[in-house]
Amino acid sequence: MDNKGSIGIFDSGYGGLTILKEILKELPEYNYIYLGDNARAPYGSRDFETVYKFTLECVNYLFKKNCPLIILACNTASAKALRTIQQKYLPNLHPPRKVLGIIRPTTEVIGNYSRTKHIGIFATEGTVQSESYLIEIKKFFCELVVTQEACPMWVPLVENNEHLSDGADYFVKKHIQNLLKKDPHIDAILLACTHYPLMLSKIKKYIPKNIQIISQGSIVAKSLKNYLIQHPEIESQISKNKKSVFYTSMDSASFNEKAGLFFGEKLTATRAEGI
């Protein structure tokens, strides 16, 4: 046993499991603590103050569980809460802690996926309204034409395990048609919500074959790997016992029942007290 901590992975619900799954492939040696705020998901249609308040509560929960580094594996939280946490909250903490998002690493590479230089983005209303992707992409690929489409029903479909049902087809088809009508030159679409990779088979059904679909999991995993190489002062604080622990703000039995489907293997979570 050492006194070292774990890498915290946070999402509003199950979606962050799609990121953790890819991180575990890239960096299996570390300890991880996952927290899903399922009881209050979805975050996508909530205002800035609420997303900030909920995210900060969850971040503090993970800090108390000894996570020196937390990844907000949620685009909505990354778009609406990360900057304030990094600029106003973290500087006052002792010992120092780090919180990273998943928008920046995605925007650093997204231009490499398109030949036409026309990219589409599916995201929650909150992420779309924040314009975080538009702002960040401009810094790295100013020539890219980026078109967003908010898909407010997709997260509720996933959280309720209805994402592969016949009813989901209507909402998938509708948003794909909307996006491609706005820009027919799109040849790559980013799933800018960590819940959406779970709908991949449905999305593929309605997307023309020449369009590439980009999920964030492996992008975020590679970026985290680089971060840990560049920040030995953080890396040295993380245990390497290959242990992952799961917490949820909802009843854990319900979480366990569904989470395994999304994570790809059975897992057992504990109810996060106080959230």
Q: What would the x/- binding string for ligand DGL be over residues 68 to 107, using CB under 6 A? A: ------xxx-------------------------------
Strands 212-214 and 188-191 turn out to be: parallel
At position 250, the amino acid (one-letter code) is M
Smallest gap from residue 231 Cβ to ligand DGL (A):
24
Please identify which residue in the block is written with the tokens 């969850």.
Answer: 58
At position 128, the amino acid (one-letter code) is V
**Catalytic residue selected from 58, 74, 142, 151:** 74
Check binding of 11 to ligand DGL (CB under 6 A): yes
Whether 58 sits among the annotated catalytic residues: the reply is no
Nearer CB in complex with ligand DGL: 148/237? 148
Nearer CB in complex with ligand DGL: 172/238? 172
**What's the DSSP call for residue 245?**
E
Check binding of 127 to ligand DGL (CB under 6 A): yes
| Segment near ligand DGL (CB under 6 A); pick from 25-33, 37-45, 174-182, 250-258 | 37-45
Using CB atoms within 10 A of its CB, is residue 117 exposed (0-12), middle (13-18) or buried (19+)? middle
Alpha-helical regions (H) of 98-216:
103-109, 125-130, 132-140, 154-159, 166-182, 200-206
Confirm if 124 and 79 have CB atoms less than 8 A apart.
no
CA 239 to chain centre: 23
Whether 151 sits among the annotated catalytic residues: the reply is no
Kindly list the catalytic residues.
74, 193
Interface with ligand DGL (CB under 6 A) = 11-13, 15, 41-44, 74-76, 124, 127, 155, 193-195
